[in-house]
């Protein structure tokens, strides 16, 4: 089965951790993830700046490792990211910012990527949000 997974919750929300565990289970079960889409406050999961306490799970790092190891398509909504200060080098330069905090494996793109993923997948699973 093909899954598209959309995340809406911030890194500290329980649903962000559940989404990672679900994604791991999808692949362990022999299924496919066609795209991970990070929207609203979930864009913070793609930032390279958060530092977690030593006794806590570094969820942004865990997501980065998971995406990299499985070579997944991980898209961060550009509009949500810009509003929250999550920028790649190109957008930082475009908006005259001195630094960036979004690097590979993450890609900035629009909501059309979520729509396309929903069309390509058998199931769209969403975590978090209001």
More confident residue, 65 or 57: 65
- Summarised one tens digit per residue, pLDDT across range 4-61 is 999 999 999 999 999 999 999 999 999 999 999 999 999 999 999 888 888 888 999 9
- Catalytic position from the list 74, 76, 77, 117: 77
Number of neighbouring beta carbons within 10 Å of residue 104: 10
Q: Is the pLDDT at 130 greater than 70, yes or no? A: no
- Domain containing 7 — which CATH number? 3.40.1260.10
Q: Is 70 exposed, middle or buried, given 0-12, 13-18 or 19+ CB atoms closer than 10 A?
A: middle
pTM: 0.94
- Summarised one tens digit per residue, pLDDT across range 89-120 is 999 999 999 999 999 999 999 999 999 999 99
Number of H helices, E strands in the chain: 5, 5
Domain interval for residue 13: 2-127
Domain count, the chain: 1
Among candidate residues 63, 73, 71, 60, the one with its CA nearest the CA of residue 101: 60
77 is catalytic: yes
Question: What pLDDT is attached to residue 88?
Answer: 97
């Amino acid at each position: 089965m093909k899954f598209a997974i959309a995340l809406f919750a911030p890194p500290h929300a329980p649903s962000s951790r559940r989404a990672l565990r679900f994604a791991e289970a999808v692949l362990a079960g022999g299924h496919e993830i066609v795209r991970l889409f990070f929207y609203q406050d979930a864009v913070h999961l793609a930032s390279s700046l958060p530092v977690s306490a030593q006794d806590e799970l570094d969820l942004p790092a865990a997501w980065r490792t998971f995406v990299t190891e499985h070579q997944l398509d991980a898209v961060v909504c550009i509009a949500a990211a810009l509003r929250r200060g999550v920028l790649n080098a190109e957008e930082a330069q475009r908006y005259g910012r001195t630094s960036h905090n979004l690097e590979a494996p993450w890609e900035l793109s629009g909501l059309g990527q979520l729509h396309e993923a929903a069309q390509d997948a058998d199931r769209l699973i969403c975590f978090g949000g209001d």
